[in-house]
């Protein structure tokens, strides 16, 4: 894997801070917010970079999508050969296609876990509207059309969604093979008069292997603690 993490000073499990290295020994990558405690080896005071542009190149020129300069965000793309879980204290942003090297019939497996949102990258420069001029290019002269995502997705507190889902012209079909667990159902586009108007159509397929496989250290609902949050008496249907 190739990592670009400008402000990481120390990592665990042999993860490279910047450059190319092997997958972590425990199969987990976790990106934290910039630590506020000066005793943390990765502490940086204030905003860890100066100027309007993020050193990773996000947001790109004219993009109105906000990013917090101390947020633990992960930007991920590529082809996975192996099993891996990528987690973020803030958001996971899928910036290009995420595929398994051996396809969905092989033994590759990816988990994406965010405390907040798991997002499909969609930079725009317009504050409203569906004009194609709103969508920005993300790979030279390309837009992120018909994305392919092969992963188990978990948003702990929010949603799996598309950035700026209600702006820009349509971008095809969002093709996800895996599973989605989220607190709120996240939007990926809008419809008008029975047709897609902005964002993506949904092309979701359950990865049948997830009935008996799980990405490394992924949440196991069977082993989780469950309890009663609320209860009420329900009247018999049709009766008093």
Residue ranges of domains in the chain? 26-34+69-217
Could you tell me the two tokens for 49? 């970079």
The dihedral built from the CA positions of residue 226, 229, 233 and 238, taken in this order, carries a sign that is: negative
Q: What's the mean per-residue pLDDT of the chain?
A: 86
The predicted model scores a pTM of: 0.86
Task: Give pLDDT, residue 5.
Answer: 78
- The percent of residues above 90 in pLDDT, for the chain, comes to 53
Q: Which of 54-68, 129-143, 185-199 has the lowest mean pLDDT?
A: 54-68
Task: Go through 16-55 and write b for each residue having 16 or more CB atoms within 10 A of its CB, e for each that does not.
Answer: beeeeeebbeebbbbbeebeeeeeeebebeeeeeeeeebe
């Amino acid at each position: 894997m190739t990592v670009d993490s400008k402000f990481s000073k120390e990592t665990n499990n042999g993860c490279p801070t910047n450059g190319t290295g092997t997958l972590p020994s425990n199969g987990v990558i976790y990106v934290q917010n910039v630590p506020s405690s000066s005793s943390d080896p990765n502490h940086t005071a204030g905003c860890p970079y100066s100027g309007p542009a993020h050193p990773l190149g996000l947001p790109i020129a004219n993009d109105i999508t906000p990013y917090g300069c101390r947020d633990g965000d992960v930007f991920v793309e590529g082809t996975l050969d192996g099993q891996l879980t990528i987690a973020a204290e803030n958001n996971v942003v899928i910036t290009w296609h995420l595929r398994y090297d051996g396809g969905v019939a092989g033994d590759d497996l990816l988990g994406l876990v965010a405390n907040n949102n798991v997002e499909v990258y969609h930079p725009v420069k317009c504050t409203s509207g569906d004009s194609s001029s709103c969508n920005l290019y993300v790979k030279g002269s390309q837009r992120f059309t018909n994305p392919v995502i092969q992963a188990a997705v978990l948003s702990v507190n929010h949603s799996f969604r598309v950035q700026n889902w209600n702006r820009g012209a349509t971008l095809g079909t969002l093709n996800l093979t895996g599973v989605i667990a989220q607190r709120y159902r996240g939007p990926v586009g809008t419809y008008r008069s029975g047709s897609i108007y902005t964002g993506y159509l949904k092309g979701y397929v359950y990865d049948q292997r997830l009935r008996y496989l799980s990405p490394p250290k992924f949440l196991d609902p069977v082993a989780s603690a469950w309890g009663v949050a609320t209860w009420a008496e329900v009247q018999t249907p049709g009766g008093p």
